[in-house]
């Protein structure tokens, strides 16, 4: 069950983020939809194939759905930097929670290195980058 959740989460968030960013940059709904769906399907399949065929299928279908939703979101917004920063922060938060799920399922809960939890470092750096984009580029 956790493997299906991992494949679905990564497929959906990858295609959602990619679709939003590509729709803003390209201003072409068709091309950005196709690219984001294909990338989401690839990530969903690749992460699910190590678990089961059902997990791969679930990841691919989530990639299709996220690619369409992300592209529609990117095409309709009026403040692109705000929504890109928001989607990036959500993506980083989801990856943090997903990393905790993987550690919980694998039984590896020890803290790594002097900096503590590497997920925490990742989320802090990602939030700092998104904050920089939000404050200084808009």
| pLDDT, tens only, 43-98 | 999 999 988 999 999 999 999 999 999 999 998 988 888 888 888 888 888 888 88
Alpha-carbon distance values, 44 to 17, 47, 70, 86, 95 (Å) = 14, 5, 16, 22, 14
pTM of the entire predicted model? 0.76
- C-alpha 90/C-alpha 119 separation (Å) is 14
Note the pLDDT of residue 85: 81
| pLDDT, tens only, 15-46 | 999 999 999 988 889 999 999 999 999 999 99
Per DSSP, the three-state class of 107 is: coil
Instruction: Parse the chain into domains and list their residue ranges.
Output: 1-77, 78-138
Q: Return the higher-pLDDT residue of 121 and 79.
A: 79
């Amino acid at each position: 069950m956790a493997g299906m959740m991992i494949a679905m989460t990564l497929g959906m968030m990858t295609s959602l983020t990619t679709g939003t960013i590509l729709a803003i940059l390209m201003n072409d709904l068709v091309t950005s939809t196709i690219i984001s769906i294909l990338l989401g399907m690839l990530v969903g399949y690749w992460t699910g194939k190590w678990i089961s065929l059902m997990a791969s299928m679930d990841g691919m279908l989530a990639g299709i759905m996220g690619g369409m939703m992300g592209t529609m979101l990117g095409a309709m917004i009026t403040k692109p930097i705000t929504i890109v920063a928001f989607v990036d922060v959500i993506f980083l938060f989801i990856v943090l929670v997903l990393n905790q799920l993987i550690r919980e399922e694998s039984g590896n809960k020890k803290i790594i290195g002097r900096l503590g939890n590497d997920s925490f470092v990742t989320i802090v750096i990602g939030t700092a980058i998104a904050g920089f984009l939000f404050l200084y580029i808009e």
